Amino acid sequence: MHQLNPKKLLLSKWTAAKPVNKEKHFLVRSVVKPASEDLPIELFELEAVHSGRTQIIHWRDLQDEAQWLQGWK
């Protein structure tokens, strides 16, 4: 498992380990702001490069190498 810093994930590139609907490459498009500024950043919006579809994901899910690989492979 690799260490990630949620503050440095914006615009990072990811590859789905098991692509669905030809969506293999993703980009962290934006940060989902927490309800209070005192809370840590936990959620990000991922955009599929192929389709433009977006999804919200918890940053810790990116640490699961069975789901996500860092960079575009």
Per residue in 26-35, pLDDT (tens digit) is: 999 999 988 9
Predicted pLDDT at 41 = 87
39-73 tens-digit pLDDT? 988 999 999 999 999 999 998 999 999 999 999 99
Q: What is the mean pLDDT of residues 15-24?
A: 96
Predicted pLDDT at 4 = 79
CA distance 63 to 22: 22
Neighbour count for residue 65 (Cβ, 10 Å): 11
CA distance 72 to 49: 11
CA distance 48 to 27: 7
User: Which residues touch 22 (CB under 8 Å, ≥6 apart)?
Assistant: 50, 51
Predicted pLDDT at 26 = 98
